[in-house]
Structure 1
Amino acid sequence: MHLSTVILPIHRWGEGQKIWRRAEELGFHAAYTYDHLSWRTFRDRPWFGAVPTLTAAATATRSMRLGTLVTSPNFRHPVTLAKDLISLDDVSDGRITLGIGSGGTGFDATVLGQEPWTPKERADRFAEFVPLLDRLLTEDSVTYDGTYYSAVEARGIPGCVQRPRLPLAVAATGPRGLKLAARHGQAWVTTGDPKLSETGTPEQSRAAISGQIAGLGKACAEIGRDVSEVEKILLTGFTPDRSGPMESLDAFVDFAGRHFELGITEIVMHAPIPDSEFAADQRVYERIATEAPAQLRR
């Protein structure tokens, strides 16, 4: 199992670069950031762009993987996103993973002046966005005329450092999204079942995640793909036990071990942020980073 972290883009770079470098020193497999224009309780607090932050992080680190968790179509277009990603992959020397999801109904959904999309429209847009982005990252020139997105001789030269393209980690829980993950994803991302986040139990949450993994397996089988080829990423902080795994090393190892048994292959925890829903003891966080991987391999 891989252990990774999320560093929210809330720090001026003079401070932020220390956090990204420290994540690499601690041995994290990857460090991700959210790709939003603002987010929930951080709405009126500092919040920087994901692409510039990751570009800076790529120059501040050497070997740790970097990426978004997650990008969405809410304010992105496949053509411009592909160009940014090809550039990021080059700057990082092939260390970028794109986490991508269908988006939600938060601030990003209306900030450009549009009405929030219905769940069906979000799913329809996502189903068009991901395959087009796949082409833009792998082909030198793409022309496409779709329902929601178009491209006219969009150039992708020189392409990604990673071949045939950088990996996509597709966030999905429903059948349509899981089919996209099966067809286009090198990884799949879940935060658990959102319906259980507030009122469910840890046991119910694990059962739901197990069901999601089974759904991914079914989607892979339908196209003749081995589901073991798809990494399975759990972003923590949204399951019913929320902060429990961050209370101690033993609590985290127990939490991670139970999810490893379900088939999860990468666990992502948030870097502590005081006075927020991601508040945690920095010493516990660092101890988890340095000691949990060895315990999970036993």
Structure 2
Amino acid sequence: MRLVHHPVLCNYYVTYRCNAKCSFCDIWEKPSPYVTLEQVEQNLLHLKKLGVNVIDFTGGEPLLHREIDKFLALAHELGFITTLTTNGLLYPKWAERLKGKVDMLHFSLDSSEKEQHDKGRGVACFDFVMQSIEIARKLGEHPDIIFTVFRENLDQLEKIYREIILPNKLLLIINPAFAYNEVASGDALTSEELTFLSEFGKRKYVYLNDGFIALRRDGGNHINNPVCKAASTTLVISPENELVLPCYHLGEKKFPISGNLYALYNSKEVKQLIALEGRLPQCEGCTINCYMQPSFAVEMNKYFWKALPSTLKYNYYKGTWKRLLKN
């Protein structure tokens, strides 16, 4: 049963450029412009009209954009919940200007060991993450640590939790790695490893969407009975100011926004593509977290119930439910 019939999230790619070269990502390889303030302002008004609640300013590395603080401030003023994930390299430079503008601030950290983390990210950024945590806490911010889980770093969860999360009273977001296109993410987690993650997710200050675990056990999205609602729950806007459908990772078609996102989203051609969400051949077996999370939230099925406890837990810790109520 569908509970929400409008998009709830916008993944707003302010640039594809990045100052890291993560082994499990290919975004940084793409040439890219930067979005403009005029485009963002116009699109945010239309996103509000469409019913979107959350704006994820993403990339690439979003802090490479020289006006990212203005984007966040504008979104916040319009009542959106804002989220931003960074590798930490530029956060110390931006911290003062970002203060109070990011509801869900995520620092990427995949190991408690500097060498292992930096190797996976392709640059020396471990020390910057540690510095960013210290600066954010001094400013009264409450960042999360987003931990991308592979088989080879599974043993790092306990160390991250004991050495970084608990002493700093941060939230640990467990993000199971996923493969897409030609980007490999290593061997799939075993049933025992998925059980370990599920149990770990029950700890204090830890967030793991158990819907992710259930979906992996079920072999991912199936095109004959799709759980993915990517195109109808999530708007993807590219640095070229295009609407990307059905999702960023497939990018089957890109539509120039041309100043009227609302009309474009409600156009016949876009609606036809939305109707194919989760049903395209490439959608078979998909487990991409950033599209499954909103998919689980809008339709009452087993994944909805699996995801609900962790969603309530996260919103309770972060207090984002207060901003949702205002909207």
* TM-score greater than 0.5 by the shorter chain: no
Q: Compute the TM-score of the two structures, normalised by the length of structure 1.
A: 0.44
The TM-score with structure 2 as length reference comes to: 0.41
